[in-house]
Structure 1
Amino acid sequence: MWLVSDHPANSADSPANAAVPPPEADHHLPAPIRWLSRVELWAGTVFFALIFAGVMYQVIGRYIPPIAWVGAGEVARLSMVALTFITAGYLIGKNGHIVIEAFDSILQGKKLFVALRVFAALVMVATCAALAWESLLMIEQGWRRVTTVLHMPLAVIYIFALIGFLSGVLHSIVKIFAANRPEPRLDISEMEG
């Protein structure tokens, strides 16, 4: 087999492994950002549980009509939207968002690589700030409109958008100052419990 563990290319000192950040690459992040990430992850877990519960209740309601409730579908849909917004900052901070990495391999190890990361983080700051501003405007207008079944003001959903995009701004600002350090990577195993 061509992948042998004692091959020199597989050692920890090899240049191929030098570009891979260690799993604890986010240890240099400020404590408030680490706590914010934990809160976002827990909020995302709660919304995911609400999605699961809403969908399962809908399924059970199809087979047991007396307990069917139309609001279960609305709970699942609104939880999905809230999950999307509330985890936006977390995904930005952990590089779990969509990234174009065409230049990463070309510029890896060069000074321009840090400049590219700073530029990307600045674009994310501007984008998240603009979306947070729009969310704020939608919150002001959203108290008049309510959802169909739960009669919940739509402004509540935009509050989650505002929180998520402000978090995205914070995570992006931190990425600017940590552009010369290894970036944290999204670790799916930390989401498994």
Structure 2
Amino acid sequence: MSTDDPAEASAAYEPEHNAPAPIRWLSRVEIWTGTVFFGLLFLGVMYQVLGRYVPQIAWVGAGEVARLSMVALTFVMAGYLIGKNGHIVIEVFDSVLQGKKLFVALRVFAAVVMVLTCGALAWESLLMIEQGWRRVSTVLHMPLAVLYIFALIGFTSGIIHSIAKIAAAGRPEAKLDISEMEG
């Protein structure tokens, strides 16, 4: 690839562009799904607030929609955050070992731990799905197994993202930039 524009040339080597197409697609789906649940969370809370000032439209289910959306959002975004290093990481080792062979071994080890952890959580989610159809939420009467389906999806995504991180352990890694969120 030859280009005269330095910004375009550097963008081609950013970790996000080096990710395999299925991982990029999965990340987009996770972001959109997370956005939908965040929207439901926001609408549920705003409807609750409105219901306090206009009692005629108050609905108890708004709070439950907000709570269940928050739980689903948390589970669905687990894999995305693992793939973008948005989970808790010991970055001290990253800076100390950068450029050394042990750095790749550390990244592989961390990804293997995530595969095993997400695998255990996905297995437990599967077991909870089997048992969760009898229990329902208080107001909406939604089977709680539905929430565990989102947990299974999120932790399975975490496994996929972690396996991709193992395969890419020797290449630059995507970093979740939260500097814009800091005060």
TM-score of the superposed pair, with normalisation by structure 2? 0.89
Shift of 1:177: 0.7
- Measured in 2, the distance between the counterparts of 1:105 and 1:31 equals 29
Greater helix fraction, Structure 1 or Structure 2: 2
Paired residue for 1:78, among 60, 68, 86? 68
Determine whether 1:133 maps to 2:129.
no
Number of the residue aligned with 1:8:
none
Gaps of 5+ in 2: 1-5
Partner amino acid for 1:124? M
Paired residue for 2:90, among 95, 100, 104? 100
Determine whether 1:110 maps to 2:100.
yes
Partner amino acid for 2:30? E
Partner amino acid for 1:139? I
Paired residue for 1:185, among 172, 175, 182? 175
Determine whether 1:60 maps to 2:50.
yes
**Which one has a bigger Cα radius of gyration?**
1
Number of the residue aligned with 1:3:
none
Determine whether 1:40 maps to 2:30.
yes
Shift of 1:102: 2.2
Verify the 8 A CA contact 1:93 1:168 in the aligned structure 2. Answer: yes
Partner amino acid for 1:53? L
- Measured in 1, the distance between the counterparts of 2:88 and 2:71 equals 18
TM-score of the superposed pair, with normalisation by structure 1? 0.84
**What CA deviation, in whole Å up to 9, does each residue of 1:138-177 have, x standing for no partner?**
0000000000000000000000000000000000000001
- Measured in 1, the distance between the counterparts of 2:44 and 2:109 equals 41
- Measured in 1, the distance between the counterparts of 2:176 and 2:102 equals 24
What SS does the aligned partner of 2:44 have? helix
Shift of 1:117: 0.2
Verify the 8 A CA contact 1:23 1:185 in the aligned structure 2. Answer: no
